[in-house]
Structure 1
Amino acid sequence: MDDIQPTTDAGQAYGSAAHAGALAPGAAAPIASRPTGLAMKRRGPVAVWLGLPLITLGIYQLVWYYKIHKELQEFDRRRVLSPAGSVLVMIFLSWTLIAPLISYHNTGKAIANAQRAAGLPVTCSPAASTWLAFVFGLNIWYMQRQLNLVADAYPSATPGTEVLLAA
């Protein structure tokens, strides 16, 4: 019987460059592709905050809340958001007062993450997104203004077209 000796070749060991699919010497390294997302829609902050909710007796605010969460999800697919869950919190748990405030805070964080992904300085404050709800519901106006900064970062992109993310 032949004795089989284990090889000590570094190219055969697990976790080595050869096992991980490294390139041959002299081959060009692959270029890491930048993440992409779908461009967001620019909306009028005053129309979103005051005009359309008055005309639709508050229904538009729920539609808007769903749409921005869906756009945030599509803009940066690395982040997981639940557009329907956010709206359901507003519909069924708004009486608790705490649940909508937490939802506004999380939306402010999602907008800040979108600004970061667009390569913009982060100007959206989750705290302002929360506490401006107590001042005539100005948090809606504030959040839409912050979202418009993300939309304006891609001036030639129409809503729903693919854009490159900066980070």
Structure 2
Amino acid sequence: MTESSDNAPLETPDETPGEPTASAVPPPYQAPAADASSATPEVIEPLAPLATVGNPSTGPVGQVRGTGACILLTIVTLGFYTWYWYYKTSQEMKEHSGEGIGGGIALLLAILVGFVMPFISSHEAGNLYVRQGRKPPVTAITGLWYILLSWLFLIGPIVWFVKTNGALNDYWRSQGATQG
């Protein structure tokens, strides 16, 4: 098309108004020809789980913490030990695996929105197992013990802690840690 001096388009004889030119239209889709050599389907390897992508767990091994001692320290310190536990275990998991929220963020979340920490801690502990291709004994869903049964004489938080701390201790022992 060409334009006149008043910028109105002029039609050229080989173009029909409103129709695309032949060079602007892609060719129609044609299915590939089926031949005998392509009769066997291509094998596609399955993708690795997302948790295994990234750094292998080669950092320092965390500390095994006695569950009873942790519960006793929580009672004696009127709950402040839980902040230390969240900080320390989150930091150990991050240093070991290279992934996770780390101690500083865990402490901040524990102080400001503490109800999320049972979910995060259990999730990160479970991911330690997943990175090794093992079935996780705890997941974020384990945090529901804490939330749903808190009202019943703290049974929910105790069950959650026994499960999560036990999973962490078992993992650290599998990496060579001893009770300290």
TM-score after normalising by structure 1: 0.61
Superposed, 1:13-162 pairs within 5 Å as 36-48=58-70, 50-77=71-98, 79-94=99-114, 100=115, 102-133=116-147, 134-135=149-150, 136=154, 137-138=157-158, 139-155=160-176, 157=177
The answer to whether the 8 A contact 2:100-2:124 is kept is: no
Count, aligned residues:
118
CA deviation vs aligned residue, 1:83-117 (integer Å, no higher than 9, x gap):
222222221234xxxxx2x3321222111111223
Give the letter aligned to residue 115 of structure 1.
Y
The answer to whether the 8 A contact 1:124-1:146 is kept is: yes
- Computing the radius of gyration over CA atoms, which structure comes out larger, 1 or 2? 2
Give the letter aligned to residue 126 of structure 2.
A
Q: Which runs of 5+ in 1 are unaligned?
A: 1-32, 95-99, 160-167
The answer to whether the 8 A contact 1:112-1:122 is kept is: yes
The answer to whether the 8 A contact 1:118-1:153 is kept is: no
Instruction: Tell me, in whole angstroms, the C-alpha distance in 2 between the residues paired with 1:110 and 1:47.
Output: 22
Q: 1:35–1:71: structure 2 CA closer, same or farther, 3 Å change rule?
A: closer
The answer to whether the 8 A contact 1:129-1:142 is kept is: no
The answer to whether the 8 A contact 2:91-2:103 is kept is: yes
Deviation at 1:140, TM superposition (A): 2.2
Aligned residues with identical type, % of pairs? 21
Higher relative contact order (CA 8 A, sep 6+): 1
Instruction: Tell me, in whole angstroms, the C-alpha distance in 2 between the residues paired with 1:42 and 1:35.
Output: 17
The answer to whether the 8 A contact 2:126-2:137 is kept is: yes
The 4+ residue runs of structure 1 with deviation greater than 6 A are none
The answer to whether the 8 A contact 2:57-2:131 is kept is: no
TM-score after normalising by structure 2: 0.57
